[in-house]
Amino acid sequence: MPVRLLAIDWNLFNETFYHEKGLNYLRFLVIIILTLVLKKPVASWLTKISSMLASRYSYMKHKDTIKGILFKPVERLLQTVAYFLATEQIADFLDNVNFHRASSNRKGINVNLGTLTDHLFLFLFIIFLTQVITHLIDFLYYVRMGKANEEKNLSSQQMLPLIKEISKLIAWTLSAFWIMGGVFHVNVPALITGLGIGGVAIALAGKETVENFFAAFTILSDKPFITGDSIKLGDIEAVVERIGFRSTRLRNTDGSAYIIPNQNLVSQNLINLSNRSTRGLKLVANIKYGISNDSLNKLIEEIKTTLKGMAPVSEPLTVSLDNFEKETFQLIVAYHLPYPLPEGQTLVELKHSVNLKVFEIIGKYGQMGTAVGTS
């Protein structure tokens, strides 16, 4: 029995159906099918290329992170471009499909499917391209922050989060203007001019926010402190955790968090405790009257000699009299500890040791009233 091969009439592809050749419909279907089949491997390859161009670090070292951050946005962008190319194959068909909305008060509205499709794909292209850019910024931030943590580069740790947020804000702002101009045909230059005039009113209304925003750049440029520094502002003494656009977050030794507006940090007197080599502490002891002059001098000398021999207490070290009250007078013991403290030792433990030793010495002379330790 003779085998009959399936005959294909290639003339069908040259015939026109609904303003478009059959070959163009075939191309449309082929591109759609290829997109569905190849989108994942091609997106993976483009993700690898973009990550290698964006960073000097090896792809394999950050392979999982790269896929988690970049793969999906790249896949969506690639799919959008491929579908647009597919619809371009049947552009004549789409251009001849019109929708008309009648209105009693107007002539009506005509919508062309080809134009609508072009605007839709442009909108999606801008959105997904911006997502790729912002996710690439996230990846660069991840890599650079990891390197900064390894090198303990506090300056980079402080600057990188702010740079990341500013970069993403710029990317989305430019994308919004592109959408308004390219998709909705808004007069962008006129809009920017209007925003400039309105921006003055907004700036006046949000004066404090604007001040805090520029104060953040003052802090980052002058660097009165960096992330990880211990600072003192008024009665607050805490460690800098994060510097943001509007405020800086501090955390003290008991775990409490302080949110301080940036303007307050640049306008008030601030002490950077991390820039010192020693930390001054003071112990106030109330001594009863009745101690002789010789005993008092011996008491003072014994406190000095004992504290000088205690590690890690350091100079300058002074013991002086102050505040003569009705029944007692104050003995001020001022001493210093190294900053930062030796590893394994805490400020509370060291202050406790010094206080106990001073209490023990004063107790020998039987003139102890009450004692209060303050830093």
Concatenated DSSP letters of 52-100: HHH-SS-TGGGHHHHIIIIIHHHHHHHHHHHHHHHHHTTHHHHHT-EEE
Q: Which pLDDT score is estimated for 370? A: 45
Fill in the DSSP letter of residue 118: H
Residues 80, 122: Cα–Cα separation, whole Å: 9
Tens digit of each residue's pLDDT (9 = 90 or more) over 5-56: 444 555 666 666 666 677 777 788 888 888 888 878 877 777 777 656 555 5
Residues 222, 315: Cα–Cα separation, whole Å: 32
Q: What is the CA radius of gyration of the chain?
A: 37
Which secondary-structure segment (H or E) carries 41? Answer: helix 22-54
pLDDT, averaged per 10 consecutive residues of the chain (375 residues), comes to 48 65 77 82 73 54 70 86 86 76 60 84 93 88 83 76 85 91 83 64 64 81 82 87 86 86 88 79 84 85 87 85 83 85 83 87 67 47
Three-class secondary structure of residue 341 per DSSP: coil
> Is residue 289 a contact partner of residue 331, using CB atoms and an 8 Å limit?
no
Q: Which pLDDT score is estimated for 373? A: 47
Residues 26, 283: Cα–Cα separation, whole Å: 90
Q: Which pLDDT score is estimated for 313? A: 85
CA distances from 136 to 143, 144, 174 (A): 11, 12, 16
Q: What phi and psi values does residue 152 have, to the nearest 5 degrees? A: 55, 45
Q: What is the residue whose two structure tokens read 């609904």?
A: 18
**Which amino acid does the sequence have at 232?**
K
CA distances from 89 to 11, 79, 238, 332, 365 (A): 18, 16, 65, 90, 103
Residues 89, 99: Cα–Cα separation, whole Å: 21
Cis peptide leading into residue 312 (ω within 30°): yes
Q: Which two tokens stand for residue 116?
A: 């609508």
Fill in the DSSP letter of residue 154: H
Three-class secondary structure of residue 276 per DSSP: coil
> Is residue 339 a contact partner of residue 281, using CB atoms and an 8 Å limit?
no
Q: Which pLDDT score is estimated for 161? A: 80
Three-class secondary structure of residue 271 per DSSP: strand
Q: Report which of 269, 352, 286, 279 is spatially closest to residue 321, judged by C-alpha positions.
A: 286
Q: Which pLDDT score is estimated for 134? A: 92
Fill in the DSSP letter of residue 326: S
